[in-house]
Amino acid sequence: MATIDDVARLAGVSIATVSRVFNNSPLASDSAREKVLKAAKELGYEPSMLARSLAMKKTNTIGLIVPDISNPFYAEVVRGIEDICNIYNYNITLCNADNKRDKELQYIEMLKNRWVDGIIFHCDYFSEEHYEIFSSRNIKVVLAGRTTTFDVPYVAIDNKKAAYDATKYLISTGHKKIGIIHGPLNGMKETVDSVDRLIGYKNAMIDAGLKIYDELIKEANFKAKGGYKAALEMLKGDIKPDAIFAISDVMAMGAINAIFDFGLKCPDDISVVGFDNIDLSEVMRPALTTIAQPMYDMGVVAARMLIKIIDNEQISNKQVILEHKLIVRDSCKILK
């Protein structure tokens, strides 16, 4: 591969001039520019970003730590991130950490050693340990899809309010015995999706003067099978729900199948609302009523924010909450 020296030699100029030409410096005469470009073309030369990164101490690379890219939610967020990075000429280094603390730390270390300009971080819960490592190492970071009480930039949605809205919709359509299928609770810390959404659900029930039955609160694993099992348990219990709020679409799908396999119908016998608005929620039958999360936009905003931080640009609001939206489809019956 041709290097800057080769080009300089062939063009009969110094490497400084070659460098100037390739960086569009005004300090390069047209004649020099011409000679350099010609020589470069002849040699098939392109500057090595690697060497440039070392010299400039800037890699134009962003590290991306997600729990699992095969989860459609993250895949969509990542897509938004990548599109923005592409526009601003950044690369992304992808890491799957499975929400495991040691993997996360290992990846953060690795990304730092590769001099990434910043990190977009996704996790279940942003702990003090996370905060420590990022701030002690002076790593520029923004959280995506997660809020935190620490002074760290993030872009997310208001999970409490979103769950409140979903539950309220169920209530407003005449449902009273509303069950919820949430995800792992991890010892009840706020800012965790499941915890916040559970709170939102309870608040809505309380505000409506409805009774909250412990039997109608089930934990699952965010997967379809988990939703299926949780729903089945609920259906077999003593308190029969007239509606189920599953805090992810995939679990909602599982719940609908459980209802079906239990010999009941959705929405005729039991209404279901989901959360996320993944592609399939529109396509399944019954089409799923759900809370739409702006996944792609989350990625876009997070990436844009991080790039601004890297460029030391002023940012008006470092902690942004994106709007969620209730999408009414067919999985919820109007009872009154």
CA dist., res. 286 & res. 253, Å (int): 10
Query: Which of 23, 135, 172, 186 is in the footprint of DNA by CB under 7 A?
Result: 23
Burial class of residue 75 in the structure, from the number of CB atoms within 10 Å of its CB (0-12 exposed, 13-18 middle, 19+ buried): middle
Q: Is 323 in the site for its own copies (CB under 8 A)?
A: no
- C-alpha span between 19 and 4 (Å, rounded): 8
Q: What is the distance between the alpha carbons of residues 229 and 259, in angstroms, rounded to a whole number? A: 10
Q: Is 279 in the site for its own copies (CB under 8 A)?
A: yes
Q: Which stretch binds its own copies (CB under 8 A): 3-11, 118-126, 248-256, 305-313?
A: 248-256
**3 interacts with, out of DNA, its own copies, none, CB within 5 to 8 A per kind:** DNA
Which one, of 66, 62, 85, lies nearest residue 304 by Cα? 85
Give the residue with the Cβ less far from its own copies, 38 or 79. 79
Coil, helix or strand at residue 251: helix
In the sheet that holds 178-182, the strands lie side by side as: 217-219, 178-182, 243-246, 271-276, 289-292, 325-327
User: If binding is defined by CB under 7 A, does position 159 make contact with DNA?
Assistant: no
Query: Is 52 among the residues that bind DNA (CB under 7 A)?
Result: yes
By beta-carbon proximity to its own copies, the closer residue of 149 and 260 is: 260
| Position 78 contacts its own copies (CB under 8 A) | yes
Give φ, ψ of 249 to 5 degrees: -60, -40
Query: 187: buried, middle or exposed (CB in 10 Å: 19+, 13-18, 0-12)?
Result: exposed
- What is the C-alpha separation between 1 and 105, in angstroms, rounded? 36
User: Per CB under 8 A, does 133 bind its own copies?
Assistant: no
22 near DNA, judged by CB under 7 A? yes
**Nearer Cβ to its own copies (73/126):** 73
CB 126 within 8 A of CB 186: no
Indicate the residue among 285 and 336 with the shorter CB distance to its own copies: 285
Which span (7-15, 73-81, 120-128, 237-245) binds its own copies, by CB under 8 A?
Answer: 73-81
Return the number of the residue (70 or 317) whose C-beta is nearest its own copies.
70
Kindly tell me which residue out of 44, 55, 317, 336 binds DNA, with binding defined by CB under 7 A: 55
Asked if 114 is part of the footprint of its own copies (rule: CB under 8 A), the reply reads: yes
Residues between 168 and 187 with contacts to its own copies, criterion CB under 8 A: none
Residue 285 contacts its own copies per CB under 8 A? yes
H-run or E-run covering 244: strand 243-246
Only one of the segments 8-16, 30-38, 139-147, 276-284 lies at the binding site for its own copies (rule: CB under 8 A); that segment is 276-284
The span from the CA of 6 to the CA of 73, in Å, is 47
Q: Which of residues 83-112 bind its own copies (CB under 8 A)?
A: 83, 86, 91-96, 109-110, 112
- 5 near DNA, rule: CB under 7 A: yes
User: What is the rounded distance in angstroms from the CA atom of residue 266 to the CA atom of residue 285?
Assistant: 9
CA angle (320, 181, 255) in 5-degree steps: 120
- For the bound state, the minimum distance from the C-beta of residue 246 to its own copies, rounded and expressed in Å, comes to 13
Strand partners, 94: 64
Q: What is the largest CA-CA distance in the chain?
A: 88
**Contacts to its own copies by CB under 8 A:** 46-51, 53-54, 59, 61, 64, 68-72, 75-76, 78-79, 82-83, 86, 91-96, 109-110, 112-115, 223-225, 228, 250, 253-254, 256-257, 260-261, 279-280, 282-285, 296
Binding site for DNA (CB under 7 A): 1, 3-5, 12-17, 19-20, 22-23, 26-29, 31-32, 45-48, 51-52, 54-57
